Amino acid sequence: MIELEGVSVTYGAGPTLIRAARDVSFRIPAGDALGLVGESGSGKSTVLRAVAGLIPHAVGSVVINGRELPNRRPRESRKIIQMVFQDPYGSLHPNQTVDQTLSAPIAIHRLGNAESRIMAALTEVGLGREHRYRYPHQLSGGQRQRVAIARALILEPKVLLLDEPTSALDVSVQAEILNLLTRLRRDHGLTMLMVSHDLAVIAHICDRIGVMHSGRLLEMTTAEALAEGRVTDPYSQQLLRANQGFDASGVVIDVAA
Amino acid sequence: MSDDRLLTIRNLRVVYPGDDGDFRAVRNVSFSLGRERLGIVGESGSGKSTTGRAIMGLIPYPGRVEADVMRLGDIDLTRLDERGFRRLRGKRIAMVLQDPKYSLDPVMPVGKQIAETHRYHFGSSKQAARTAALEMLQAVHIRDPERVYHQYAHQVSGGMGQRIMIAMMLIAGPDILIADEPTSALDVSVQQQVLAVMDEMVKSRGMGLILISHNLHLVSSFCDRVLVMYAGQIVEVCDAGRLHEAQHPYTKGLLTALPELGHRRAVLPQLRRDPEWLVDLPAAVGAAS
Amino acid sequence: MSATGLRVGAPTGWRGWLLDPAPASRRQARFGRWYRAWLGLRRNRLAMTGLVIVLALVLIAICAPLLANHAAAFTQTLEDRLQPMSWAHPFGTDELGRDIYSRVIFGSRITLTIVALVSIIVVPVGLGIGLPAGYFGGWIDAVLMRITDIFLAFPRLVLALAFAAALGPGIENAVIAISLTAWPPYARLARAETLTRRNAEFIEAAELQGASHLRILFTQIMPLSLPSVIIRLTLDMAGIILTAAGLGFLGLGAQPPAPEWGAMVSAGRQYLLDQWWVATIPGMAIFIVSLGFNLLGDGLRDASDSRAG
């Protein structure tokens, strides 16, 4: 369903050149879920946005459902691939009600039946009539994220991209959203590409996991392999250890500017 | 643990009056802090940050802070006004916040800010303050303090910024450090380093540390004791190593709702919020500690 | 007081409807939002004072014929010239024997007209230039901002004078002249606001849905830039009124016998020492109205600062 080949993204030039992503390639069969883990600056979010078509100057090929998509996506292609962002407050317009947020994509693509589509989307993510006319600041973090998911699904995409969808949420809410995502993936046969810094969250949703560092895809592994510590790259091992809670003995405490 | 409690709190209440009625952000909170690492864990809206701020006297108007007892050593915090709190901050209690980008002055070199703090509390000369600042930078394990001294806030990484904050907050030798989500904005490996620095500083100076966080895992692996807060109240108190023996259904619910590497469940057990948990608990919970 | 609840003392009735955390319709949501904003503003005494003054201006302008005698404002009665304040003439008479009170009352209409016309011109022009500049960046930004810079480089009053002289005297031309010089800061402000929001995730989300640039500018960015522009406008209003008064003072703008406050001050200045009321009363009117707009603008800015987004 998704094929990336040699995707690279650079920003700036000369001394301020930043290679956000270097020659990243992978494939995701239809219906599968792939996770990208890494720390900040690893390039995982950049790759996600390149797949989403939000980076006009990305290099390399992105093929979705057999069609190679150019960097500047035609409007039609937007229906196939949608994204849920990290910050549930930042991804919703603060002055628009839930109703307005969900109506926008329907209006843009001139789909009919706005009323039934909106109610169906709300029900699907576990929200109700009473949430429909609220503003984002009147919703909890979990509810906002549900609205973001509803918005992504309202165009009935085949691919769902997820940028740290639960990082900004409380633990109890995170469980709800993860369950929701699992259910939606099953019900709609979605192909997912998820990005996170939290190994446990990624391993919960995704079958295969790619470890990224400094823009490069270091290794591709599975959730089981990661759990058993069967990772080859030393950086992956470091990441694994750091995810396991505080351990004073394992820390190199000195740092230079 | 030594017997002299650094901080004693009984029945702390924080109320925010508003258009929609009064909001009780914190209620019936009682605990005491010795020379130990105490973790306060809760989700957003649990009142954990508000508790920390109430101790520092940082609750903005129109919020009201009341307590039966809120004592720092021999000082009664309930009777302090803003001036009184200002004398305490930095000298007796210090606070480290989440994002050093917002806590550091962007137009002054970081070393100078630390020196300024020293001068403010001790009235020292510029030279003495500078020396003290450099010593602190070294104490937080920054290998080239001279170089970092002259850098600006935007030039340092997140982890470095937090070390600088810790240096600045501890330079006046407070007894208690309150850290409110100090590592939430940092990468995991950097988190470990910053926590290790805090650990060493607190231990070597015989301080008490209150670590406020939403990350149960982190708090239980780092702290000695854990307080769990929900809807403004403390619902659980236990030793960090014994968290899996937690009693309160909320704590148990939180623990099982966390995804675990290597133990994949098809559906994560969702926390069912029992309205019973919102009922005011007697102030005795936590008082025994 | 409930021991189980976190929130105590929730309102009922129509206030409850407006403050309902779960609105059931678009209307309820929108009115609720405005009501909360109003509550925020109401807490500020000075802002309320400003609002009262501005509303008073509007009311006086609308009801002018009821409050004063139109004839008295224009009829020249030379025997009665320069009379001090009395029951017959609450603010005295001017150098041509006209009742100053009536002239000030009717002059409010002119002031209001100037305020309204300038607003209608300046806000759309400022947004129309600033929003695309901030959104598209690149050469569009460069060109639009250089045009803005050119207009900004001239001192406002001088440029207004030049335009007024070129267009000829009269209120409408004065308004156009003032507007042409007043728009640049709004373009800058709109551009700054746009730059702040440009990379927000909800903009990315809109792009991802296939929204066109125009749609994004209109439905997403403009509503966020509008509040600061309006606040700036209320703060600027004082300056606009004073510029109009200045033009009137110099003989451009409103022409005699129109009771424009600035022109009245100008005409009265030679009598300032002995018959102070001729210049001072309209001057005070200008002062009070400018102050009112300033206070209102400050209050609006404080109210908007406290809300997120």
Closest by CA position to B213, among listed B228, B201, B231, B203: B228
CB-based contact (8 Å) between C206 and chain A?
yes
Q: What percent of chain A has pLDDT over 70?
A: 98
Q: For residues B144 and A87, what is the distance between their CA atoms, to the nearest angstrom?
A: 36
> 3-class secondary structure for chain B?
CCCCCCEEEEEEEEEECCCCCEEEEEEEEEEEECCCEEEEEECCCCCHHHHHHHHHCCCCCCCEEECCEEEECCEEHHHCCHHHHHHHECCCEEEECCCHHHHCCCCCCHHHHHHHHHHHHHCCCHHHHHHHHHHHHHHCCECCHHHHHCCCHHHCCHHHHHHHHHHHHHCCCCCEEEEECCCCCCCHHHHHHHHHHHHHHHHHHCCEEEEEECCHHHHHHHCCEEEEEECCEEEEEEEHHHHHHCCCHHHHHHHHHCCECCECCCCCCCCCCCHHHHCCCCCCCCCCC
Domains of chain C and CATH, by start: 52-72+81-305 (1.10.3720.10)
The answer to whether residue A209 scores a pLDDT higher than 60 is: yes
Q: Enumerate helices (H) and strands (E) in chain A, giving the number of each.
A: 8, 10
Neighbours, chain C (3 or more CB pairs < 8 A): A, B
pTM above 0.80, yes or no: yes
Q: For residues C295 and B35, what is the distance between their CA atoms, to the nearest angstrom?
A: 53
3-state secondary structure of A21: strand
Local structure of residue A219 (DSSP, 8 states) = E
The tens-digit pLDDT sequence of chain C (309 residues) is 334 445 556 677 778 788 777 777 788 888 887 888 788 788 888 889 999 999 999 999 888 888 887 777 788 878 878 888 888 888 888 888 888 888 899 888 888 888 889 989 999 999 999 999 999 988 999 999 999 999 888 887 788 788 878 887 788 888 888 888 889 999 999 999 999 888 888 898 888 888 888 999 988 898 888 888 888 888 888 788 878 877 777 777 777 788 888 888 888 888 888 888 888 988 899 889 988 988 888 888 777 765 433
Q: For residues C131 and C195, what is the distance between their CA atoms, to the nearest angstrom?
A: 9
Residues of A in contact with C138 (CB under 8 A): none
Q: Which ipTM was obtained for this model?
A: 0.83
Helices (H), chain A: 44-52, 98-108, 114-124, 141-153, 171-188, 199-205, 223-227, 234-242
CB-based contact (8 Å) between B282 and chain C?
no
Do residues B247 and B40 make contact, with C-beta atoms less than 8 angstroms apart? no
Q: Which of A76, A92, A108 sits opposite C209 (nearest CB)?
A: A108
Q: Which of B19, B21, B275 sits opposite C8 (nearest CB)?
A: B21
Q: For residues C82 and C103, what is the distance between their CA atoms, to the nearest angstrom?
A: 14
**CA atoms in the 13 A half-sphere facing the CB of A139:** 31
How far is the alpha carbon of A149 from chain B, nearest alpha carbon, in Å? Answer: 18
Do residues C101 and C89 make contact, with C-beta atoms less than 8 angstroms apart? yes
Domain B7-278, second-level architecture? 3-Layer(aba) Sandwich (3.40)
Q: Which of C24, C33, C211 sits opposite A104 (nearest CB)?
A: C211
Closest by CA position to A156, among listed A115, A132, A124, A204: A124
How far is the alpha carbon of A108 from chain B, nearest alpha carbon, in Å? Answer: 35
- What pairing do the DSSP bridges indicate for beta strands A191-196 and A33-37? parallel
Domain parsing of chain A, residue ranges: 2-250
Neighbours, chain A (3 or more CB pairs < 8 A): B, C
Q: For residues C98 and C77, what is the distance between their CA atoms, to the nearest angstrom?
A: 7
The answer to whether residue A71 scores a pLDDT higher than 80 is: no
Query: Could you tell me the sign of the dihedral formed by the alpha carbons of B122, B127, B133, B136, in that order?
Result: negative
Tokens at A251, concatenated: 């820390």
CA angle (B26, A166, B227) in 5-degree steps: 30
Residues 67-96 of A with CB under 8 A from C: 73, 75-76, 78-79, 82-83, 85-87, 90-96
Q: For residues B186 and B196, what is the distance between their CA atoms, to the nearest angstrom?
A: 14
Strands of A59-64's sheet, edge to edge?
A: A18-28, A2-11, A59-64, A67-68
Residues of C in contact with B274 (CB under 8 A): none
Q: Report pLDDT digits (tens) over A174-208.
A: 999 999 999 999 999 999 999 988 888 998 989 89
The CATH code of domain A2-250 reads 3.40.50.300
Q: For residues B253 and A176, what is the distance between their CA atoms, to the nearest angstrom?
A: 12
- What pairing do the DSSP bridges indicate for beta strands B69-72 and B7-16? antiparallel
Do residues A84 and A76 make contact, with C-beta atoms less than 8 angstroms apart? no
The answer to whether residue A141 scores a pLDDT higher than 70 is: yes
CB contact under 8 A, B20 and C36: no
CB contact under 8 A, C21 and B22: no
The stretch B181-186 carries a mean pLDDT of 86
CB contact under 8 A, A94 and C24: no
Minimum mean pLDDT range among B82-86, B150-154, C12-16, C145-149: C12-16
Q: Which of A83, A90, A97 sits opposite C26 (nearest CB)?
A: A97
H or E element, residue A2: strand A2-11
Q: Which of C28, C208, C309 sits opposite A133 (nearest CB)?
A: C28
Q: For residues C208 and A83, what is the distance between their CA atoms, to the nearest angstrom?
A: 8
CB contact under 8 A, C29 and A133: yes
Do residues B231 and B277 make contact, with C-beta atoms less than 8 angstroms apart? yes
Please tell me which residue, B154 or A248, carries the higher pLDDT value: B154
Helices (H), chain C: 13-18, 26-42, 45-62, 64-67, 70-74, 100-136, 138-153, 156-167, 171-182, 184-197, 201-208, 213-215, 222-249, 261-268, 277-305
Residues of C in contact with A73 (CB under 8 A): 210
Q: How far is CA B244 from CA B239, B285, C261, in A?
A: 10, 19, 79
